[in-house]
Amino acid sequence: MDKLTLKDIDVRNKRAFVRVDFNVPLDDSGKITDDTRIRAALPTIDYLREQSAKVILASHLGRPKGGYEARYSLAPAAQRLSELLGAEVPLLSDCIGPHVEAAVAAMRPGEVVMLENLRFHAAEEKNSPDFAGALASLADVYVNDAFGAAHRAHASVSGVPTLIQPAAAGFLMSKELDFLGGALQSPRRPFIAILGGAKISDKIKVIETLLTRADSLVIGGGMANTFLKARGVDIGKSLYEPTQVELAAELLDLAERSKVAVHLPVDAVVALDINAEEGEIVSLDAIPQDAAIVDIGPATSDLFAAVIAAARLVVWNGPMGVFENPVFAVGTFGVAEALAASPAITIVGGGDSAAAVEQCGLASRMTHISTGGGASLEFLEGKVLPGVAALTDKRGKSE
């Protein structure tokens, strides 16, 4: 990676502004249901504390309307981090202002504070120079460990690092860029990409990029229906994108010309409703007119598992069906199990895929699980992420 990393910079006794991604899921009572993103930031936080840095954590949570909303307070994150560190992490009442400045000025080396939700200020998402300046005034060095927010050109992501130098990648950010960047730039082969989810339109650029890099694509979920439609399959009432059928056909033609194998479902689980309590396994030539595809079938699961077994690198993004309904999660979990059994490097691209491997209890058997959903997709598209671009180049490092 050509950007400075945490170990490239001197943080001892410095005030470190650390952009983390503590946008964690909460239940109706405000309790965290998955603390993966908080635990993922611990190596960076621990290292800074060991270096006697004063650690100022900044994050967003949810989509508040630019003002304080209690349900989007970072209080649950501060409480959980305190438990994980075994030390109190006070949540400040705001992220800028005299109270925050005074609290930071009173910090001792090795202490950690958390700023309140950045998005309580509309200026965060607008990348306001004044807001970025107020945040930057709190610190001496900048560390971005929020890969999940790196695709957003927001004040704390791309504004602050232009004002604080050096600006370095934290350990989590570095790991994300190493794994995902390695998959695109120097993949082990055979390199298999698995794509799922509802819409082909969300992943057109990813598919186009992967067709120049992967050896084969495995496509499931709702997006596979559009490809099946392009191949003339009668998919009944299944979800698909009519405006993307022609594009799907063009992508299949491009894959053939590029000698990239595309593996689509060969059977399916169908149901009259996505909330049904059971489905029916059918071949692709026997999909009922009044039913919809809700999961890949067992023959498809076997096919996909065989493709995965032959790979040396697998990148997976998107479920194989309506996995929110446990009845229709079999195909998605089957992919997770195939990845867990594979000797290949396995990279799970965040979002629903990451949730699936957690639900299966197979997370520890994946090589890398990305903490970024949208960021992972944009990175795999080949886009330059604002939060990465803003970091200090290594070639600019003073000798």
Residue 189's pLDDT is 95
pLDDT at 383 (0 to 100): 85
Q: What is the pLDDT of residue 398?
A: 37
Q: The dihedral of CA 265, 271, 277, 282: what is its sign?
A: negative
Beta carbons of 269 and 295 less than 8 angstroms apart: yes
What pLDDT, on the 0 to 100 scale, is given for residue 399?
A: 35
List, in order, residues 6 or more apart from 137 with CB less than 8 Å away.
Answer: 101
Model confidence over 156-193: pLDDT tens digits?
999 999 999 999 999 999 999 999 888 888 899 999 99
- Residues 6 or more apart whose Cβ sits within 8 Å of residue 176: 147, 368, 370, 371, 372, 375, 376
Q: Maximum Cα–Cα distance for the chain, whole Å?
A: 70
Positions of the chain with pLDDT under 70: 1, 396-399
What pLDDT was estimated at residue 351? 79
| 170 Cβ contact partners less than 8 Å away, ≥ 6 residues apart | 5, 6, 18, 41, 44, 143, 144, 145
Domains and CATH numbers, the chain: 6-174 (3.40.50.1260), 187-380 (3.40.50.1260)
pLDDT tens figures, 118-128: 999 999 999 99
Q: CA torsion sign, 368 to 372 to 373 to 377?
A: negative
CB–CB of 127/159 below 8 Å? yes
Which pLDDT value is given to residue 1? 63
**CA dist., res. 352 & res. 374, Å (int):** 11
Beta bridge partners of 19: 58, 144
CA neighbor of 321 nearest in space, from 335, 308, 307: 335
Give the active site residues. 37, 199, 351, 374
Contact 196, 332 (CB under 8 A): yes
User: % helix / strand / coil in the chain, to the nearest 5?
Assistant: 45, 15, 40
Please give the model's pTM, rounded to 2 decimal places. Answer: 0.89
Sign of CA dihedral 281, 282, 283, 289: negative
Tokens of 83: 């438990």
pLDDT at position 352 is 85
Task: Give me the torsion for CA of 263, 269, 273, 275, rounded to 10°.
Answer: -100
Going 366 to 370 to 374 to 378, the CA torsion angle's sign is: negative
User: Could you give the count of Cα atoms lying within 13 Å of 201 in the half-sphere of its Cβ?
Assistant: 8
